[in-house]
């Protein structure tokens, strides 16, 4: 027997975050679909994912949480593995950059590159913020100050190791020009050549002494290996490169494809191939830079509060609806908008209407007209052979598109068969055939072909959707695993006549778009609220444990900055408690004859009665927000101390409401 061909696919390794969103799942689900497809079509597949756990940022977060960096990442990584389990990600290995097996390989790579002169010691120059203990480049500064805290930074030099990227630049340009498939899609290849490689590369800083949470340089203990050398090596450390057991490396390297988001194409097509060239190893066959999932305007990011939690969506719509949506909605190389509307509409049109209906109609008719027994197929008409032909041609088309990572197009090909089958029902009108005794064999043929077409569809979708195929096959009464393989799609007519169908639940119930949108919005609000409460509790805890001192004065502002805040005297006309919110009061204020509504968190310090008639100070031009569903048009000023005492700032003498405070 000839050896199976190998296929090695990777995702990027993820930064540990407890908020992996649907954008992260996008890369992983795509890699998973590809891995499943290749396994199904006979390859020996290695599918790698993992986590990228070192760096100053993690060190800092861990410190803030009073845990060690390792404790912190262990906790987060467990959550990431849970998410991949939920998404049915069939990875063959999960590499963590904190695995000893990884650290050892990275140290050997670093030493080897140093010994051969590709890494050398020099000085790194950057801007340092002492309170934040962070380095910044000139470019990252905000108005010359630290972008994190706004304080002054100083120019410092730090001893660092550098990697000679420049030495390999011409070889890399040549490789890219000679291998147009290396960087895909094509547009990203042009970007790399024109924007980075041809203008010339600068050597890369690859070590740091300003933090400890990294892999130590073995021959210079003050240094830890910085970011990309550590992270990129995962693709070969997981294969046992430079270890006593390099069998997997020999078997799977070079990788067939690294799937990465477009913002990290640069690292994968410049630093990584140069590292490999310097190590004398072959380059990956392809780096594919996919687009981003965009949610309402920006790249999805947790800071904008527009994250979509995959766990919430899976719970509500099932895993397959989400996997299908991710792979179908957006062509893989392009950016695409994620919206609740588009998700619901895809589920309704493609899954409930097209696929779901095809199955339920077919099974229902076999039950109704043949007592649930799949009838035999007799002579063929042109309509039948058209359907059969399409079914037999679809696997080849899908394979070709998958080889180009065109997931959405591959699914469209499969859906052509779904649509053709639905159309076949309309064309053959089984309900009319059922009326005449003599059309019995014809009716049998039609229903047989539909069931067989559904068998094809169930196999074709199985790399994309993991739960639905067995459900379809169960309803079709398929019991032999030989009828669910890729090989079995070479023959139209394998489905056994005489076996019994089993009507089951509707595979994709139709959704009411309006109700769903409301429900999703409510879920989003709930989650936001939960996060706000949690953040407040964390902050309170931290403040409590910090020394009991008034907080530091904020960075300086100019009189112009201050002038942007419009402060007014406002008279409290009415104060009411807010239902189910023991901290909030709803205030009706008079501001120079105009009425304003403000929700204020002072209910535990003031009763509504004592507020009425008081002259308070209002931030009058603050953007309105809704608190517990109630509109709040501004904020009233109060002072609070570290013990939790709170007093309102008021006008010390009678003055017109609406007067400016300066
Ligand atoms: N740790 C680095 C990768 C090192 S690989 C040697 C990293 N991690 S990440 O967690 O920030 O991102 C992981 C992947 O998720 C990237 O490919 C990134 O493009 C992808 N995505 C993150 N948000 C995304 C979207 N909104 N849409 C699509 N993909 C996105 O980068």
Q: What is the pLDDT of residues 439-496, one digit of tens each?
A: 789 999 999 999 999 999 999 999 999 999 999 999 999 988 899 999 999 999 999 9
Calculate how far, in angstroms, residue 13's C-alpha sits from the geometric centre of ligand 1.
8
Decide: helix, strand or coil at residue 493: coil
Nearest residue (by CA) to ligand 1, atom 26, is 23
Nearest residue (by CA) to ligand 1, atom 18, is 261
For residues 459 and 358, give the distance between their C-alpha atoms in angstroms, rounded to a whole number. Answer: 15
pLDDT for 210 = 84
Q: List pLDDT tens digits, range 80-129.
A: 999 999 999 999 999 999 999 999 999 999 999 999 999 999 998 888 88
pLDDT for 648 = 92
Q: Are 255 and 235 in contact (CB under 8 A)?
A: yes
Across-strand partners of 628?
none
The DSSP bridge pattern shows strands 594-600 and 581-591 to be antiparallel
For residues 361 and 447, give the distance between their C-alpha atoms in angstroms, rounded to a whole number. Answer: 10
For residues 154 and 126, give the distance between their C-alpha atoms in angstroms, rounded to a whole number. Answer: 8
Handedness of CA 466, 468, 469, 475 (dihedral sign): positive
pLDDT for 251 = 98
pLDDT for 501 = 97
Calculate how far, in angstroms, residue 333's C-alpha sits from the geometric centre of ligand 1.
14
Our CA dihedral for 90, 91, 92, 97, rounded to 10 degrees, sits at -160
pLDDT level of residue 550 (50, 70, 90 thresholds) = low
- Cβ < 6 Å from ligand 1: which residues? 12-15, 23-24, 26-27, 52, 231-232, 234, 260-261, 263-264, 292-293, 299-300
Nearest residue (by CA) to ligand 1, atom 16, is 261
Calculate how far, in angstroms, residue 447's C-alpha sits from the geometric centre of ligand 1.
46
Q: Are 27 and 67 in contact (CB under 8 A)?
A: no
Tally the C-alpha atoms within 13 A of residue 69's C-alpha that lie toward its C-beta.
17
Calculate how far, in angstroms, residue 11's C-alpha sits from the geometric centre of ligand 1.
9
Q: Choose one of 13, 22, 24 to mutate for the ligand 1 pocket test, by most ligand atoms within 8 angstroms of C-beta.
A: 24
For residues 229 and 589, give the distance between their C-alpha atoms in angstroms, rounded to a whole number. Answer: 60
Q: Is the pLDDT of residue 430 over 90?
A: yes
Q: Which two tokens stand for residue 535?
A: 């953040």
Q: List pLDDT tens digits, range 377-427.
A: 988 899 999 999 999 999 999 999 999 999 999 999 999 999 999 999 999
Provide mean pLDDT across the span 254-268: 96
Residues 6+ apart with CB under 8 A from 156: 125, 126, 127, 128, 135
Q: List pLDDT tens digits, range 311-341.
A: 989 999 999 999 999 999 988 888 988 888 8
Q: Choose one of 58, 229, 264 to mutate for the ligand 1 pocket test, by most ligand atoms within 8 angstroms of C-beta.
A: 264
Q: Are 265 and 12 in contact (CB under 8 A)?
A: no
Q: Which two tokens stand for residue 169?
A: 């630049």
Nearest residue (by CA) to ligand 1, atom 24, is 23
């Amino acid at each position: 027997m000839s050896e199976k061909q190998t296929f090695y696919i990777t995702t990027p390794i993820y930064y540990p975050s407890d908020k992996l969103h649907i954008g992260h799942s996008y890369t992983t689900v795509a890699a998973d679909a590809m891995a499943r497809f290749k396994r199904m079509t006979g390859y020996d597949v290695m599918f790698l994912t993992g986590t990228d756990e070192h760096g100053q940022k993690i060190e800092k977060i861990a410190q803030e949480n009073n845990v060690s960096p390792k404790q912190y990442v262990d906790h987060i990584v467990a959550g990431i593995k849970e998410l991949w389990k939920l998404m049915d990600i069939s990875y063959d290995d999960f590499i963590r950059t904190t695995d000893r097996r990884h650290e050892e390989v990275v140290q050997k790579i670093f030493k080897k590159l140093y010994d051969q002169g590709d890494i050398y010691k020099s000085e790194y120059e950057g801007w340092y913020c002492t309170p934040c203990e962070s380095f910044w480049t000139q470019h990252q500064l905000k108005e010359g100050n630290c972008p994190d805290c706004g304080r002054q930074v100083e120019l410092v030099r730090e001893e660092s190791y550098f990697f000679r990227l420049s030495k390999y630049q011409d070889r890399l340009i040549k490789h890219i020009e000679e291998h147009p498939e290396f960087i895909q899609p094509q547009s990203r290849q042009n970007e790399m050549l024109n924007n980075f490689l041809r203008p010339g590369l600068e050597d890369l800083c690859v070590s740091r002494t300003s933090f400890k949470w990294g892999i130590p340089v073995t021959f210079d203990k003050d240094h830890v290996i910085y970011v990309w050398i550590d992270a990129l090596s995962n693709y070969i450390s997981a294969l046992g490169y430079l270890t006593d057991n390099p069998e997997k490396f020999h078997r799977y390297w070079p990788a067939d494809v690294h799937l990465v988001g477009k913002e990290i194409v640069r690292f994968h097509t410049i630093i990584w191939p140069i590292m490999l060239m310097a190590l004398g190893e072959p380059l990956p066959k392809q780096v594919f830079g996919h687009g981003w999932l965009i949610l309402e305007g920006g790249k999805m990011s947790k800071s904008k509060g527009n994250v979509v939690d995959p766990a919430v969506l899976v719970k509500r719509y099932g895993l397959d609806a989400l996997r299908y949506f991710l792979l179908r909605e957006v062509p893989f190389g392009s950016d695409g908008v994620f919206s609740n509307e588009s998700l619901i509409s895809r589920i309704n049109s493609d899954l409930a209407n097209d696929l779901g209906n095809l199955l339920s109609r077919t099974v229902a008719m076999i039950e109704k007209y043949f007592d649930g027994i799949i009838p035999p197929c007799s002579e063929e008409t042109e309509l039948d052979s058209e359907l059969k032909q399409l079914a037999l041609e679809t696997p080849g088309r899908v394979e070709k598109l998958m080889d180009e990572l065109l997931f959405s197009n591959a699914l469209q090909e499969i859906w052509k068969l779904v649509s053709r089958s639905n159309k076949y029902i309309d064309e053959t009108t089984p309900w009319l055939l059922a009326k005449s005794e003599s059309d019995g064999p014809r009716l049998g043929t039609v229903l047989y072909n539909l069931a067989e077409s559904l068998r094809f569809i169930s196999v074709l979708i199985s790399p994309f959707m993991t739960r639905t195929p067995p459900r379809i096959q169960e309803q079709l009464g398929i019991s032999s695993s030989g009828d669910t393989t890729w090989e079995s799609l070479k023959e139209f007519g394998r489905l056994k006549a005489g076996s019994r169908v089993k009507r089951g639940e509707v595979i994709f119930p139709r959704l009411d778009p309006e109700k769903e949108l409301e429900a999703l919005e409510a879920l989003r609000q709930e989650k936001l609220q939960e996060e706000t409460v949690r953040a407040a509790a964390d902050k309170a805890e931290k403040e409590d444990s910090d020394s009991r001192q008034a907080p530091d004065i904020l960075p300086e502002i100019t009189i112009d900055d201050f002038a942007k805040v419009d402060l007014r005297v406002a008279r409290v006309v009415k104060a009411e408690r807010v239902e189910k919110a023991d901290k909030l009061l709803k205030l009706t204020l008079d501001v120079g004859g105009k009425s304003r509504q403000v929700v204020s968190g002072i209910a535990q310090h003031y009763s509504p009665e004592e507020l009425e008639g008081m002259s308070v100070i209002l931030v009058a031009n603050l953007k309105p927000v809704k608190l517990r569903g109630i509109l709040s048009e501004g904020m009233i000023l109060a002072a609070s101390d570290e013990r939790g005492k709170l007093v309102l700032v008021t006008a010390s003498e009678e003055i017109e409401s609406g007067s400016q405070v300066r």
